[in-house]
Amino acid sequence: MAKLNCLTQKKLDAAKADEKAFSLPDGGGLGLWFDPKGGRWWRLRFRWEGKQAVMSLGTYPDTSLKLARQKRDKARQLLAAEIDPRGVMKANKKPAADAETFKAIATEFLDMQTAGAAKTTLRRFELHVFPYLGKRPIAKITAAELLAVLKRIEHKGSRETAHRVRSACGRVWRYALGSGRAERDVAADLAGQLAPVNVQSFASITDPKRIGELLRAIDGYQGLKAVTAALKLAPLVFVRPGELRAATWDEFDLDAALWTIPAKRTKAHREHLVPLSVQSVAILDELLPLTGPEGFVFPSVRTKSKCMSDNSLNAALRSLGYSKDQVVAHGFRSMASTLLHEQNYDSDHIERQLAHVEQNKVKGAYNKAKYLPQRTKMMQKWSDYLDGLKAGGNVIAIGSKAEAP
């Protein structure tokens, strides 16, 4: 019988690649194979069912001499028990490797989420992420690789989806961080790298300095009280102009600081909740004695039985010196979306507050209160941020996903 463990570390260190492939035997079928290009592999030769077989035990020096011998001895024990070691080692190795991939960790994470949310996120991953990054070890995926995937979505015209996928990927990375399978959240490195949602649909101001100028101009508006209040409230709540001007007092619970827009008045035909900041409640409290407590919050100048016209807010902006190419009432939504995304708030929270809902969602599964605590906190921080811009001082960033409960 061939002598076991005949290799030494000194002999391994001295061995050099040659013009032809060769091997250094260690005994028991184990040998270190060299190829002319410098590659070195541990291989184990053995007989299985009367035929010569060979299996790889790793590369050197990643697999040391000691570890290669341990693998050889384990394989020989399996052979003695009439078990093919190739199948056993393959079965043992695959789950460990797969457990580190983005797809495996994402699936593991989604299994712990509510069925509806997990199904939607999984579908996005299957369409946009798994084909490109699914098999990659999550710890080795770079921010540049993830950005390339997100840009691919963006170039298809799906900006909202790109932001949502980034947000979902961030949650997977943070989960991997907690289980020790990643060292950082690369999705967080991409804040501000995607085009803002819907910024080209309506004229809007998104530069913080110019927003401050606009808010100061609004504060100086000398028009009707109802129009003034609506103009001040619009950037704070960033609902659609039609939803704002047709609001009725019975939709508001000022004590709870909550505005419930009924389904019949929303674009998606679904009830929508708008958390009200301290600033928003103050505006409505001041208006309540003038137009409340029943009927329209912002009535027409001609009759209280109708709400203000659809041109009232835009006309007010024009009277302040802003052209239709600079800003329109609907542009307050783009303003909020852009700034909140740039400040790294969770895209799902922003999109839900904007009442952006995917058309393929089952109507009965829609949850109007989803993310409500996070959205409430976000809306207050947004109002505080706008106050800072209006004051013209140094403004601290609104917040980040890390702050959201």
- State mean pLDDT over 256-274: 92
Say if residue 368's pLDDT is above 60: yes
pLDDT in the model for residue 196: 78
Cβ-based neighbour number of residue 279 at 10 Å: 17
**175 catalytic per annotation:** no
**322 catalytic per annotation:** no
What Cα–Cα distance (Å) separates residue 334 from each residue in 58, 329, 378? 55, 10, 16
* Residue of 173, 87, 89 whose CA lies nearest to 129: 173
400 φ/ψ angles, rounded to the nearest 5 degrees: -150, 170
pLDDT-based confidence at residue 51 (cuts at 50, 70, 90): confident
- State mean pLDDT over 234-243: 95
Which residue, chain included where needed, has tokens 């835009």?
314
pLDDT in the model for residue 321: 92
CA–CA dist 66, 80 (Å, integer): 21
Kindly tell me the sign of the dihedral angle through the C-alpha atoms of 277, 283, 288, 289: positive
pLDDT in the model for residue 200: 46
Output the CATH code of domain 208-357+368-403: 1.10.443.10
In this structure, of 30-44, 80-94, 149-163, 355-369, the range with the lowest mean pLDDT score is 355-369
CATH class, domain 9-86, is: alpha beta
pLDDT in the model for residue 405: 37
- Tell me which of 240, 245, 377, 401 is the catalytic residue: 240
Q: Which run of H or E residues covers position 115?
A: helix 115-128
- 359's tokens: 């058309």
Instruction: Write out pLDDT tens, residues 90-143.
Output: 656 554 456 689 999 999 888 877 666 677 788 889 989 999 999 999 999 999
The domain spans of the chain are 9-86, 102-190, 208-357+368-403
pLDDT in the model for residue 401: 43
pLDDT in the model for residue 84: 84
Superfamily name with CATH number, domain 102-190: Tyrosine recombinase, N-terminal domain (1.10.150.130)
- Tell me which of 69, 128, 164, 333 is the catalytic residue: 333
Task: Indicate the residue type of 101.
Answer: T
**401 catalytic per annotation:** no
- Tell me which of 267, 304, 306, 324 is the catalytic residue: 267
- Tell me which of 330, 341, 377, 390 is the catalytic residue: 330
Average pLDDT, the chain: 85
In this structure, of 6-15, 373-382, 393-402, the range with the lowest mean pLDDT score is 393-402
- Tell me which of 356, 375, 377, 381 is the catalytic residue: 356
Q: Interior CA angle at 266 toward 329 and 241, to 5°?
A: 10
Say if residue 252's pLDDT is above 80: yes
pLDDT in the model for residue 274: 97
What proportion of the chain, given as a percentage, has pLDDT over 70?
Answer: 89
Cβ density class 4-21: b for 16+ within 10 Å, e for less: eeebeeeebeebeeeeee
pLDDT in the model for residue 307: 93
In this structure, of 149-153, 260-264, 353-357, the range with the lowest mean pLDDT score is 353-357
pLDDT in the model for residue 306: 92
**366 catalytic per annotation:** yes
3-state DSSP assignment of residue 323: coil
pLDDT in the model for residue 255: 95
Return the bridge partners of 33, or none.
23, 41
- Tell me which of 43, 86, 132, 366 is the catalytic residue: 366
Instruction: Write out pLDDT tens, residues 162-211.
Output: 998 999 999 999 988 887 888 889 999 998 898 876 544 577 888 888 99
pLDDT in the model for residue 397: 53
- State mean pLDDT over 50-66: 85
Say whether pTM exceeds 0.75: no
Say if residue 157's pLDDT is above 80: no
Kindly tell me the sign of the dihedral angle through the C-alpha atoms of 57, 59, 60, 62: negative
CA–CA dist 47, 45 (Å, integer): 7
- State mean pLDDT over 340-358: 81
* Residue of 67, 108, 268, 126 whose CA lies nearest to 57: 67
Beta strands in 219-333 (DSSP E): 252-253, 258-261, 272-275
Q: Interior CA angle at 223 toward 277 and 283, to 5°?
A: 15
Instruction: Write out pLDDT tens, residues 272-314.
Output: 999 999 999 999 999 999 998 999 999 998 888 999 998 899 9
